[in-house]
Structure 1
Amino acid sequence: MLVLSLAQFPCFSSLSSMGIGETLATVSSSRILVPNLRTHSPTSSIRSLVTRISCTHPFSPKIDAGRKMVDAFDPTIPLDEALTPPSSWLHRTDQQPTRFLHWKGWTYRLDGELLKATRISGIKNFRKNDFGLIPIKVATWGPFVLISLDQNILSQQNTVEDIVGKEWLGSTSNLLSTNRIDSSLKHICRREYTIECNWKVFCDNYLDGGYHVPHAHGGLASSLQLNSYETLTFEKVSIQRCESASVEQDGFDRLGSKALYAFVYPNFMINRYGPWMDTNLVVPLCSTKCQVIFDYFLDASLVDDNVFVEKSLEESERVQIEDIALCEGVQRGLESPAYCSGRYAPSVEKAMHHFHCLLHANLCNDI
């Protein structure tokens, strides 16, 4: 199962972008059990086990240095006057690798009770009941399976499903549900790309309001009416949408009448166009490398149209390769000592500025 880093920010995070039935069959009930890390170490946290996709803090361990770096970006400056975050947000080399907790043969009952802990002879003040698995809630929204790490949710009267949309998507929940982000689509395939750039560089490229499209994606640009491009920002979601151009002469229509691109902070994208939907999960690997996981979904009526599926995926692959070249080039430029901060194009880069403001708020809270 795939766990998104969204657990760090809203109440819910997506467990999987695969089929709901398959994932629910895997978890087998409305709750999942995870190790109670809070009692293992004061520096451990539940989310360090459940997700490896952290909003990696690209600043020095020293508090004053970290604060200075974060404060180099001012989210209160209007977009048309603002500077972008400094390059030091995007290529720190002193960042420590993420640590993972591996269990060494500890055995649990299905209800989470710890039955056996191996090789702990000599340990003092060990209480087995303190090290059981803790329950977490599972819910669904459209085609996504989500989990809640908020223990307060377990005692609330309302069902988890009643608050999933609000916690995860805020006021965009209805907007996305009415734009065919639903569970009727069939999963086609998954593709993964390792990119030599900071994860935020990939997000910035996604969030530039189509700025780079006519210059970097000639094929895609010819299929869109870029003068109709618009960007909307909400609590932790931004939406970019654009009408499509007329269908090609051969009748091939991958994009349909419009395309919608939703960015769910901090690192998840939902793209809906024509009969297709794809999701993108951006996973930080280190300060200058990330992995992007694409899952493709298609209207059930076209699943067996192999020609259409293959041609659609070929076009999508072409766009991804073009974006990879862009992002890796940007990363190299960011590492130049001659560069610090840039400027925003106010008419198109609203979503990027929104992302930077949210990131700034989280970094401030964590220092």
Structure 2
Amino acid sequence: MGAWVAQTLKHRRVRSPLCLPQRWIAQAWRMSELWSTMSGTIWGGENLTQIVESPLGGLSCRNRSSVGGDDDLTGLKTTPSSPRVERTLREFRRHAPVEEASTPPSAWYTDAEFADFEIDRVFGRCWQAVGHIKQMEEPGSFFTGRVGKTRYVVCKDGEGQIRAFHNVCRHHAAAVASGSGCTHSFVCPYHGWTYGLDGRLQKASRLAGIRNFSARENGLVPIRTATWGPFVLISLAESKASEASSDVEEGWLGSAGPTLSSAGIDSTMQHVATREYVIKCNWKVYCDNYLDGGYHVPHAHSSLAACLDLPSYSTSLLERVSIQSCGAAKESGLVRVGNVATYAFVYPNFMINRYGPWMDTNLVIPISMSECRVIFDWFLEPSLVHDKEFIDSSIADSEVVQKEDIILCEDVQNGLSSPAYDVGRYAPRVEQAMHHFHCLIYDDLSAGMIS
């Protein structure tokens, strides 16, 4: 099919498919659809500009290094569902009980078109944990990041209010901030447009002669922000006129808030360390590994398994949160582990682990179809924050487990591409939280379908 398009372009002496007469474009599109049905690919050949239908019914182009390759999800536009995505989604039997259900098909983890559709529907419509209040201690403190494909900057203004904005200059779309730090204003590195910590445009030079321009209407675009316990949250969903803190808790945690608070997840914990890992697996693979009810622990984490009373492992399912807990082995005697460990998963990508004097969090950020970034933050009870030896040894033990998980997750991602695997089964007594996670994804994606 790629050769046919190339010959057509050569024959017509045009540089782009958009220069073709509409009947040629329509014919090419129909033939590519037929070819994709027959062979499972669309317009084979490398570095070919792919013609795709836009949501508005016209035609647009985007470059792909190879069909079915890894797109950078952070740069994708909102994508309507296609028949193939709908078929892939509905291969998962959403309403089957866990005892009868199969896991989602491997295409949920390996198909670039599915990933395109997923990124907005899962990450763009709910409250997300993006940081912690210790990052916001001083006026002018800020940090940056992404939710799905949206860049954001969170800051503390001069009045002590935590604010969030789309991290994009209103002039020509460059990022106005990077990394984290402390500042009095955000200065775009491209043309110097300057914004206050309240988002207002303060300076835009060399605009002599411009018409119909208002600085007030060209400030940074705000994003809703809130805090719960020690965590900073943002929401990309449409703004509501007013939203009480109880509404934020309900939207983010459902009925799990009091349970998490009683487990010691609160703002008294002191932040002591951050680590970041880039892992070569789909973000859901990493979440699945976390949600298997400790199934893999005795096989993959011998040092951790020795500290836990694995027969006591239990799982509770709430609206958008699952809570796994496990007692400590009586003979472990480790201060780091304590008497009980609580592992809370807040849909879609945030993990809170509370054990002994420690709390750590894992934020899982999709990078591409087969790669994710995991940000670890460690928090400690105030009485131990100056015990450097204890902190270093505890984090070293934690990193051993993390490295073991990375090996597992990257191996699973490779296996998901095998022709020998499509779906698996759940271990019903331990993998309820994983099944719950998959059902929530299904609900978000099916609600956003455009047939």
Report which stretch shifted further, 165-174 or 239-248.
239-248
Q: Which residue does the alignment assign to 2:358? A: 276
Structure 2 residue runs without a partner (length 5+): 1-71, 117-147, 152-167, 175-189
Match of 2:264 among 180, 189, 195: 180
| Structure 1 counterpart of 2:95, from 76, 83, 92 | 76
CA distance in 1, matches of 2:75, 2:88: 14
Equivalent residue for 2:234?
Answer: 147
Aligned amino acid, residue 72 of structure 1: E
Q: 1:356: Cα distance to partner?
A: 0.2
TM norm structure 1: 0.75
The CA deviation at 1:120 is 8.8
Match in the other structure for 2:57:
none
Measured in 2, the distance between the counterparts of 1:301 and 1:186 equals: 10
Q: Does 1:201 align with 2:288?
A: no
Q: 1:188 to 1:77 in 2, by over 3 A?
A: same
Distance 1:347 1:171 in 2: 23
Which shows bigger deviation, 199-208 or 98-107?
98-107
| Residues 224, 239 of structure 2: 8 Å contact kept | no
Q: 1:276 to 1:110 in 2, by over 3 A?
A: closer
Residue 245 of structure 2 corresponds to residue 169 of structure 1: no
> Which moved further from structure 2: 140-149 or 320-329?
140-149
Structure index of larger Rg: 2
* Displacement after TM superposition at 1:178 (Å): 0.5
Asked if 1:214 corresponds to 2:298, the answer is yes
Distance in 2 (CA, whole Å) between partners of 1:261 and 1:210 is: 10
**Percent identity at matched positions?**
52
Aligned partners of 2:448 and 2:408: how far apart in 1? 31
Q: Aligned residue for 1:233?
A: 317
User: Structure 1, unaligned stretches of length 5 or more?
Assistant: 1-52
**CA apart distance, 1:184:** 1.2
Provide the C-alpha distance between the structure 2 equivalents of 1:298 and 1:55, rounded to a whole number of angstroms.
33
| 1:138-183 C-alpha deviation (Å, 9 max, x unpaired) | 4322111223555654x33x6x333332121110000000110011
Q: 1 CA distance for matches of 2:150 and 2:239?
A: 27
CA RMSD of aligned residues (A): 3.0
> Structure 1: which amino acid aligns with 2:275?
R
User: What secondary structure sits across from 1:225 in the alignment?
Assistant: strand
Distance 1:86 1:55 in 2: 24
Q: Distance in 2 between matches of 1:270 and 1:209?
A: 15
Q: Which amino acid aligns with 2:320?
A: K
1:311 pairs, out of 393, 407, 422, with 393
- Indicate conservation of the 8 Å contact 1:55/1:266, yes or no: no
- Whether the 8 Å contact between 2:358 and 2:380 is mirrored in structure 1 is yes
Cross-structure match for 1:246? 330
Say whether the 8 Å CA contact 2:74–2:149 is kept in structure 1: no
- Aligned counterparts of 2:306 and 2:429: Cα–Cα separation in 1: 21
Aligned to 2:123: none
CA contact (8 A) 1:143 1:182 kept: yes
Letter in 2 for 1:64: P
Cα distance change on mapping 1:150 and 1:329 into 2, 3 Å: closer
Q: Residue 186 of structure 1 aligns to which amino acid in structure 2? A: Q
CA contact (8 A) 1:73 1:84 kept: yes
Q: TM-score, normalised by structure 2?
A: 0.62
Opposite residue 311 of structure 1, the aligned amino acid is S
